[in-house]
Amino acid sequence: MSRIRRWLAPTVAAVATAGLLAAPVANAAPAEAAQAVCDTTSDAYSYVVLYNPHTPQFVVDKELKAKCGTKVTYYSEIGVAVATSRNANFAQLIGVYRAYSGDREVAIPPTAAASRRSAAVTQRQLEETAEVVVADDLSAQQWDMRAIHAPEANKINPGSKSVTVGVLDSGIDPAHPALTAAVDKKASAGCLTGAPDTSQASWVPTTSDHGTHVAGTIAGKDTARGFTGIAPGVKLASVKVVSDAGYIFPESAVCGFMWAGQHGFQLTNNSYYIDPGMFYCSKEPGDAAAYEAVRRAVAYSTGRGVLNIAAAGNSGFDVPAQTTDPNRPHAVDSSCAILPKGLDGVVTVSAVGYNGTKSYYSNYGLGDIEVTAPGGDSTQRPPAGQGAGCPLSTIFNGGYGTKCGTSMASPHAAGVVALLASKYRFAGPWLLTALLEGQADPVACGTAAPTCSGPDRDNSYYGHGLVNALDAVS
């Protein structure tokens, strides 16, 4: 995937705005819409629906009502509505390139998609808590922090409370001793419906400690237990986009990126891919609407000064070389991408284990990876007393546990960016990206060649190299 690298945030904002205004005519709602026959008894599903940016809300309301939809919210800035409908033909009534429902596809999957989706379940099981750790002093077990020189960085600059990191995930436990000082409740929101909900019940975790683990890596601090994240001085916003069933649908991600852009976050961490597909294709019916809705939301947040960081994925494949989607029965080409990581301006992070080599499960690809960071690997075990093969962080009930995955690598990069944003207070997304890449420690392909290809400073396994927290503050 191509990456546009620029230094000035104002330039990016202009480009993003121009891209939004250049939305295709097909996104526009018809001037008049005849009333369809509406189903009043079937299950309702949630859809993203495209319009031209700044289409008046009354136009959106009128079309949705005429075509058996109920508006949940409308993001006028990017021309994306979230609606529910009981009609099986709602997408056809709106236009299959303008409307898409992820939860309907999960409930009524295309032929063969259900069996293929087992691959996604396997990938996410990798990121379940592998080991609960009860030692009184946890510092010796944080090999991942030592690998990126976080302890030395903390002594110089633990990060600024004026920097907010949006954790788009399953929610952060604000009662965890390591996180209670970091979580900004006023900046947090639940996004499961596609519309932000600021009640605490909407953004705290329920079934998954994934987001809590991610949060601890970025900004946790528990002096009593000897646990410290990368940037314990910054603030965290819990933006819940993962449902209790473990899905992240397009409307939730759109809500999360819009919330980040509207509330002045410096960066977001995105340790997920959007369900139920793995790849979304910008030229395919249905997929096109989801792809464009998320693209617009990411572009909006970037234009508002947010750097978005995302996990590379746990399928262990060369992303640019993929020709099929492992989750859904459709072909993949250059018009397709894993969202959100496959979008311009998003920093993609691969994973390494204790030995500093690519984790067996980590996706890779020349031009696809910006940097790498510790995500752990059960086959790369640290010496006795230095922890497990998977990184240690915060989990439910005030505890600590280990998880492996590119989901764990991404927050390591986010923590380093939080330190950079603390030091360079007026740096925009493109400058922060350039600093992150430029200060990374190059990692050569070594014996992984020729599967790993490219020079030490920009190869398919490690991108520009291993993130370095000490360089970020020095």
Q: How far is CA 68 from the centre of its chain?
A: 32
pLDDT at 238: 98
How far apart are alpha carbons 70 and 91 in whole angstroms? 13
Same domain, 124 and 247: yes
How far apart are alpha carbons 26 and 28 in whole angstroms? 5
What are 456's two structure tokens? 């030490």
pLDDT at 15: 32
Same domain, 301 and 382: yes
Percentage of the chain lying above the pLDDT 90 cut: 85
Domain-ending residue, one of 113, 143, 159: 113
Same domain, 186 and 91: no
Instruction: Note the pLDDT tens digit of each residue in 236-271.
Output: 999 999 999 999 999 999 999 999 999 999 999 999
Same domain, 159 and 24: no
Within a domain: residue 4? no
CA atoms within 13 A on the CB side of 31: 0
Domain-ending residue, one of 66, 93, 113: 113
Percentage of the chain lying above the pLDDT 70 cut: 90
CATH of the domain at 369: 3.40.50.200
pLDDT at 134: 76
Helix (H) or strand (E) holding 261: helix 250-262
**Statement: residue 404 has pLDDT above 80:** yes
Domain-ending residue, one of 59, 94, 113: 113
Within a domain: residue 1? no
Within a domain: residue 5? no
Helices (H), 384-428: 406-423
Same domain, 133 and 70: no
Span 147-165, average pLDDT: 98
How far apart are alpha carbons 264 and 284 in whole angstroms? 34
Same domain, 108 and 177: no
Within a domain: residue 2? no
Same domain, 164 and 26: no
Span 36-65, average pLDDT: 97
Higher local confidence (pLDDT), 197 or 109: 197
pLDDT at 251: 98
Within a domain: residue 6? no
Q: What is the mean pLDDT of the chain?
A: 91
Query: What beta strand segments (E) does 379-461 contain?
Result: 392-394, 400-402
Within a domain: residue 242? yes
Number of domains in the chain: 2
Higher local confidence (pLDDT), 109 or 361: 361
Phi, psi (rounded to 5 degrees) for 112? 75, -10
pLDDT at 119: 47
pLDDT at 129: 75
pLDDT at 24: 43
Look up the domain containing 16 and give its range. 11-113
Question: 126 falls in which pLDDT band (50, 70, 90)?
Answer: low
Higher local confidence (pLDDT), 354 or 121: 354
Q: What amino acid is encoded at 87 in this protein?
A: N
Q: What amino acid is encoded at 446 in this protein?
A: G
**Statement: residue 135 has pLDDT above 90:** no
pLDDT at 27: 59
Same domain, 137 and 266: yes
pLDDT at 23: 40
Span 61-87, average pLDDT: 98
Phi, psi (rounded to 5 degrees) for 466? -80, 130
Same domain, 266 and 210: yes
Same domain, 104 and 127: no
Same domain, 176 and 264: yes
What are 432's two structure tokens? 């922060």
pLDDT at 203: 98
What are 119's two structure tokens? 């691959």
Same domain, 129 and 58: no
Instruction: Note the pLDDT tens digit of each residue in 3-36.
Output: 322 222 233 333 333 333 334 435 555 555 578 8
Buried b (16+ CB within 10 A) or exposed e, 242-263: bbeeebbbbbbbbbbbbbbbeb
DSSP classification of residue 285: T
Instruction: Note the pLDDT tens digit of each residue in 322-337.
Output: 999 999 888 999 999 9
